[in-house]
Structure formats: structure tokens, C-alpha cells
Structure 1
Amino acid sequence: MISAGYRPETFTFLKGLAANNTKTWFEANKSDYLHFVKQPSDALRRALQEALSELTGREITSKQFRINRDLRFSRDKRPFNAHVRMAFWPTGSTFEGKDAQPPSFFLSIEPDHIRIGTGCMAFSKPALTVFLHALETGEGETLLALLRKLQENGFEISEPDLANAPKGFPRDHPHAGLARHKGLGAWKTLGDTGLVQGNSGIAALADIWAGTLPFWKWQLGLLEKA
């Protein structure tokens, strides 16, 4: 049975790949990739999907991003990602389609740390319209309170996308700063990679995500109104 967690060798492989990001090195160490990275990642993703379904009360689906980099439009020609990244989001027609951008839970396993996050990386056009209307008509204080709570718990809030509030949003509005966001996420960096080594990491990660649940639900309600 494959463990739903990583081993120290997982991070040894990722560090080696970061230092030797070539097809030759990867092929020479592919068995380590399959045994210590891919197989436990697949098991962990399934376990976390189940844990998040229980946490949110919603059916959750997920995606694991490819280790092969898309080099077609990139000046960076390194062939591989030296990390493992996953995303988890609710199922349903509201959240389908390339423009849906549902509020999601994110996990990034890096060579020497972990990044865990919650939010929408980019609002769909309808959701962005609802977001700006919500800020302008009274929801801004609720959102600010949620963001302050996350920051108190060690989360970083994603940087604004715009230098100023968008056209049509009052520049002197108290929430003009929030209006500069075209997406909104909260991220926490965890320096202890031991957190995801072994099966205990499932509960530990779910517990961190639980602290972001009010923020996630606020964004979920936003999208469902769009």
C-alpha cells in the first residue's frame, strides 16, 4: 500500500532536480521520482480531496500539475518543475469551464518548504463585477475582517494586480485598495517539510485549511452570485 505522505527521499529528489534540471539527470533518477514523488503525491491528493470534502461539506475535485514544464512560450528552458503542486475546488456546473476560476485550496511541495493557500487566483469577469459591487455596497468590512484574521494566523495576502482602483470604482472609496485585486488569495509558508512526511500530514494540512474556511466561503458565495 502506498503511503499518503512523503519521505525524506522525496525532498532529496526535489533538491537534486532543482540543482540538475536536465532530462539526462531526470531519466537517470526516474525510479526515485516514481517511488518517492509521483506515487505518494497521487495518494496524498486523493486523501486530501476526501478530507476537504468532509471539511467543506461539498464534493471536491482536484488536479496535480505536471512536472514537465510548458516551454513553448517561456524563455526559461528548464524542462522540469522542481516542486509538486495541487489544487482542490468544488464540483458543480457553477465551477466548470475555463473562465470559472472557483475558489480553491492549493498545496505546493517545494524542495525545502511547503506553501499552502486558499482563494481565487483570478476572478472570472462576472465574479469580478460582483466582487467590486460587493466592496462598493457594504461587504468590504466583512472581507477586511476575514483578511486580518488570516494575517494574524500567519497568512500572506496576495498583492494587488492594479496600481489604482479600476475605472468606474470610486477612487476615494474606503475599499479602493481591495478593488485593485483581480484575484485574491491567502498563503502560508511552512518551513517544516516533516509536516507532510507520513500519514499525519493529511490532518495537519486540513487543520490549516480549516482556518481559511470563512474566507473560502465568502469567495464561494461571490461566485454563486455571479
Structure 2
Amino acid sequence: MSAAGFAPETFAFLKSLKDNNAKDWFDAHKADYQRFVKKPSDLFRSEVARKLAELTGHEIVSKQFRINRDLRFSKDKTPYNTHIRMAFWPNGGAFEGRDAQPPSFFLSVEPDHIRFGTGCMAFSKPALGSYLQALETGKGEEIERLLDQLNSEGFDRSEPDLAKVPRGFPKDNQFADLARHKGLAVWKSIEDTDQLIGDAAPTFMVSAWNPTLPFWQWLADILKPVYAM
């Protein structure tokens, strides 16, 4: 197995788990999970974090999300996630679970494709204030230009969270649509999972994120007072 990337067996395991999403099956294949998912994920994350640090100029930390699903509020009671999800963000920024994230790089390794993104899926309350202030004080044009450029390169913008602009934000502001976001990220999918197999996988992944660096930097700049990055 590669020291830094995944193996074909990684995707075979995820596909089998999708077809056999039950505790008995998982327990019987736990050694495969450790060998083909957990161990290579740890090595991959470490190398990606190192390369992202070179790209961004910030020390990068990361996390991998649990394979076990949170079933408390879900009608779907299948016990396991059938993907590998991880996030990378600057050291010094607090990652607050589902509630808020500092400007981050996200990756979801699915059984049959790769989904990756950059941004903040949810702003903390102070971060949202900084974001809205930036839109009001002349920085909206820059972020709109960056988002349009990424769209031309195949990245999708996250959908607005609000039907109307938040209270206190001028309704006639030219960036009112951007003000409807409670988080802002861009996303792209790649069908070729072979790109994450082998030693070149971390380099490929960081290269895939590279076009989003100006967008990430815009968010990092306006949210620096909040996250002390």
C-alpha cells in the first residue's frame, strides 16, 4: 500500500459498506477498515496538511469525521457513513463541529467519486458579522469576481441559506444575494477516484484546491480578527 495515498481496496471497502451497512458486517471487516481506510487516511491527511501549509503559508491542522453516523435525529438508521470526510484549516482557528468553521479545505472520498470544497460551510456569529461588514464596505465586488472565476472553472457556489437578506443589511445593496449566505463555500466533483490512489494523491489533491486559494485567502483576511489566524 502507498505511504501517502489510498488503494483500490479503499474504494472497494466503501462500496461494500454501502451495500452491507450493518454492524455485523462492519465488525467482521474491521481489519479491512483499519488497513484500507483508517491508516491510509491518517497518512494522507498528514501529507496533505504539510502541502497545504506550503501553499497557504499557514500551519495547517486537520480532522477526519467519524465513520459512525449520528442517528439521534435521523430517520435513516444505517449505522455507518459510506464515505471518508476530512477538513483542513489554519492552526489557531477553532473548528466548531457542524456549527461553524474557519476558512477550510474540505474533502469527501465517496465510493465512486471525489467531492471537495473550500470555504466556511457555516459562519460563527462573529464571523458572519465580519462577512456582512465586508460586503457593505467595498469588498463584495472582489468576492463576486472570485466566485465567478471559480464557477467558470467548474466549481459550484453553495446555495443561500436565507430567503431574504438578514435584518440590518441594506436590501438595495448590490451584494444582497451574497448577504443571504450564513456560510460560503465552493464545491467540485471528480469522477476519477484513481487520482487518490498512490503516492501522488496528496499532490493531486492540493493541486485541485489550488484554484480556490484566492477565495480562501479572501475569507481568511476578513475573518482573521475572529479566528486569530
Structure 1 length normalisation: TM-score? 0.95
Residue of structure 2 in register with 1:157 after alignment: 157
Q: Which amino acid aligns with 1:88?
A: F
Gaps of 5+ in 2: none
Q: Contact 2:100–2:121 (CA<8 Å) still a contact in 1?
A: no
SS of equivalent to 1:212: helix
Amino acid at match of 1:96: A
Task: Tell me the secondary structure at the aligned position of residue 199 of structure 1.
Answer: coil
Q: CA deviation at 1:2?
A: 5.5
Give the letter for the 1:133 counterpart. Answer: Q
CA apart distance, 1:46: 0.7
Match of 2:58 in 1: 58
Residue in 2 aligned with 1:46?
46
Match of 2:147 in 1: 147
1:96 match: 94
Aligned to 1:223: 223
In 2, Cα distance between equivalents of 1:101 and 1:197: 28
C-alpha separation in 1, matches of 2:86 and 2:57: 20
The code of the aligned residue for 2:145 comes to A
Secondary structure at the aligned position of 1:185 is classed as strand
- The residue aligned with 2:86 is 86
Aligned to 1:74: 74
Deviation at 1:116, TM superposition (A): 1.1
Q: Percent identity?
A: 59
What is the letter of the counterpart of residue 42 of structure 1?
Answer: D
Moved segments of 4+, more than 4 Å: none
**Which position in structure 1 is the counterpart of 2:17?**
17
Task: Give me the CA root mean square deviation.
Answer: 1.4
Instruction: Measure, in 2, the Cα distance between the counterparts of 1:53 and 1:134.
Output: 26
Q: Which runs of 5+ in 1 are unaligned?
A: none
Query: How far apart are residue 73 of structure 1 and its match?
Result: 2.5
Question: Letter of the aligned partner of 1:44 in structure 2?
Answer: F
Distance 1:84 1:97, change over 3 A: closer
**Number of residues of Structure 1 aligned to a counterpart in Structure 2:** 224
Offset of 1:201 from its aligned partner? 1.2
